[in-house]
Amino acid sequence: MGDKGSIWLPDAMSTFANEVDALFWFVFWTSTVLFIAVVAAKVYFMLRYKRTDETSVPEPVHESKLLEAAWIVVPTILVLFVFIWGFDVYLKMNTDPTDAYQISVMGKQWAWEFEYAEGVTAFSEMYVPVGRPVKLMMNSQDVLHSFFIPAFRVKMDVIPNRYTSLWFEATEPGEYQIFCTEYCGTTHSGMLAKVVAVSEEDFAAWIAEQSQDLPPEQLGEQLFAQCAACHAVDGSAKIGPALNGRFGTDRKLADGSTVTFDENYIRQSILDPASQVAEGYQPIMPAGYSSMSAKQIDGLVAYIKALQ
């Protein structure tokens, strides 16, 4: 599935994706065949038994026991067949292997945060090893979200105050889109991320690289992935104001006052977004970012300061 989307199913890229597809296509084609058969029979009977003159009286019809038995037995078998098949796939998808590699996923307005056991935190990209089961333990910081990886055929609600989980095993290296599929506010459609499936060696290398302490500006750039749904860095207005080229300039606020866009303004805007809203924008930035550490805020300040 490219950036433009498609009416076709995305390539099946997890171990059970093909089974999900097989079941889907079975239901799809069975329904198609039955639909055509029913409509064809209807049209045939309409023509065959058309009333030809005003006085004609049709012959009384008596039931056919065989026909009645057939339309009870055949659909029952069909429905049970789909149920058993579906239940089998459902169990596979809902029974995570005990040796799965676990990643914590936090949904928040409007970004995904991925935490690894090695102490690594990532935002817009979730690296996973190919050929190894991966289990996601998911939670939300604010409202209902839903985590969806179309290429893997997995989707699960992400709920505040409760863990939900899903698992998958990627079959081939590549980048796969992650969507939020539960309406969660203004920038719901911008709540995007990517799965980056890589070999075991590349995964280990990525973890090692991420574990190093980043210089503030790079840390800020990484953290900024959470802000990117609402704030552009190329001057274009999104739901929030663009943040490049602003440092050191005056900023008009919604209440008519003017402040300097400096370190303190950035810090204040992260910790208490509603306190200094830029002119022309709504006070919709979630307060959830106030849990950032001083080090993280330093990083974001350094990054935003450097944006041209």
Interface positions with ligand CUA (CB under 6 A): 107, 145, 180, 182-184, 188, 191
Q: How near is the Cβ of 126 to ligand CUA at its closest, in Å?
A: 15
Please, which residue, 188 or 194, has the CB nearer to ligand CUA? Answer: 188
Please, which residue, 229 or 304, has the CB nearer to ligand CUA? Answer: 229
Q: How near is the Cβ of 15 to ligand CUA at its closest, in Å?
A: 27
Contacts of 288 (CB under 8 A, 6+ apart): 108, 109, 141, 142
Q: How near is the Cβ of 150 to ligand CUA at its closest, in Å?
A: 15
Q: How near is the Cβ of 148 to ligand CUA at its closest, in Å?
A: 10
Please, which residue, 184 or 285, has the CB nearer to ligand CUA? Answer: 184
Please, which residue, 166 or 297, has the CB nearer to ligand CUA? Answer: 166
Strand bridging mode 164-168 / 134-140: antiparallel
Q: How near is the Cβ of 182 to ligand CUA at its closest, in Å?
A: 5
Provide the 10 A C-beta neighbour count for residue 238: 15
Please, which residue, 111 or 270, has the CB nearer to ligand CUA? Answer: 111
Please, which residue, 191 or 278, has the CB nearer to ligand CUA? Answer: 191
Q: How near is the Cβ of 166 to ligand CUA at its closest, in Å?
A: 16
Q: How near is the Cβ of 153 to ligand CUA at its closest, in Å?
A: 19
Please, which residue, 125 or 263, has the CB nearer to ligand CUA? Answer: 125
* Single-letter residue type at 26: F
Q: How near is the Cβ of 184 to ligand CUA at its closest, in Å?
A: 3
Contacts of 230 (CB under 8 A, 6+ apart): 110, 186, 187, 190, 238, 239, 240, 285
Strand bridging mode 125-129 / 193-198: parallel
Please, which residue, 90 or 183, has the CB nearer to ligand CUA? Answer: 183
